[in-house]
Copies of this chain bind each other. A is one copy, B any other.
Amino acid sequence: MHQAPADPTIGELSEGEILARIAARTGRAASAIVGPGDDAAVVAALSGSVVATTDTLVHGPDFRLAWSSGYDLGWKAAAVNLADVAAMGARPTALLVALAMPNDTRVSFVEALADGLRDACDALAPGCAVVGGDLTVSATLTVAVTALGDLEGRQAVLRSGAREGDVVAVAGELGVAARGLSVLFDRFRDASGSPVPVDPARLGAGEADILRGQLRPSPPIGLGPMAATAGAHAMMDVSDGLGLDARRMADASDVTIDLMAATLGPDVVSAIEGGEDHALLATFADDVLPPGFRAIGRVVARGEAPLLVDGRPYAGPGGWDPYRDWDSVSG
């Protein structure tokens, strides 16, 4: 009889066998009426609408396998999508995961990825889980996640709702993920610039947490629905950097946003220009903010510049655009 290798590649198993191994690890969504295994999933949407978003991680521009484990990758792919649902004021209910992987990918890697998806849901959005997905062969490892959510009767909070006089507030980290990426790029590449695995012995004080912010971000998903309940006028997640995303909110709302540098921590440039933390950026009419949010600025009348810092136009780059900044290194 055929003896299965201890850790086969996905090319050695059928699609059905791989899907069964993933489904055994990802748990069940509380809202799932029909879970994985049919043509499609059916998810409860009791309030009569569904929030839906999709975001993809691609090997090369979005992660390097020398730095990210399968678990990290699954966690991050879940977290970035959960944040987009939360930023509408919705509670995440379900994930769909499209995996495109080289044939020589180890099944243990795929299983770790499934564990990361599950644990991110359990930690950040309890009740949410994978309800379906798709497997494809590809030369480039790609994880495309779609997240669904329920507004539970709340109005969706758009990025276009900021009003003059609003307090600008944020919940979650700013700049930590970018500092983590700097640690990786500056210290864990070889002479040719290729990524090499992180050696924990070479990390300074606090750097393990900073790296975790990059590889396994934990945005405050539960605060999205709370902000909506508290009457947030506008909300979005900070995926490409506070500067760029605050400009987007200002443009969508036809206002100017004035940030206070003193509220942005010791490393103001990282806080404004660093992406990938997926903090929640929101505006509120009231100075009394919901728990977890801190004031970082004020909405003012639309001026020439969409973004000010301490009343002056911010001259630095606004954030990270994957189409402009990709350096094409994989590894």
Contact = CB atoms under 8 A, between A and B. Distances in A.
Interface residues of A, number: 76
Contacts of A149: 40
Nearest to A140: B140
Interface string A34-56: 10011111111110111111111
Nearest to A97: B54
Contact of A137 (B14, B42, B136, B326): B326
A56 B134 contact: yes
A53 B34 contact: no
Contacts of A132: 52-54
Given A38-B156, A137-B323, 20 more contacts: A11-B323, A14-B321, A38-B236, A39-B237, A43-B50, A52-B132, A52-B146, A52-B148, A53-B132, A54-B97, A55-B98, A56-B134, A61-B138, A96-B146, A103-B323, A135-B323, A137-B322, A139-B140, A142-B142, A142-B144
A151 interface: yes
Interface stretch (A82-90, A178-186, A257-265): A82-90
A241 to B, nearest CB: 13
Given A48-B44, A137-B60, A137-B323, A236 B39 contact: yes
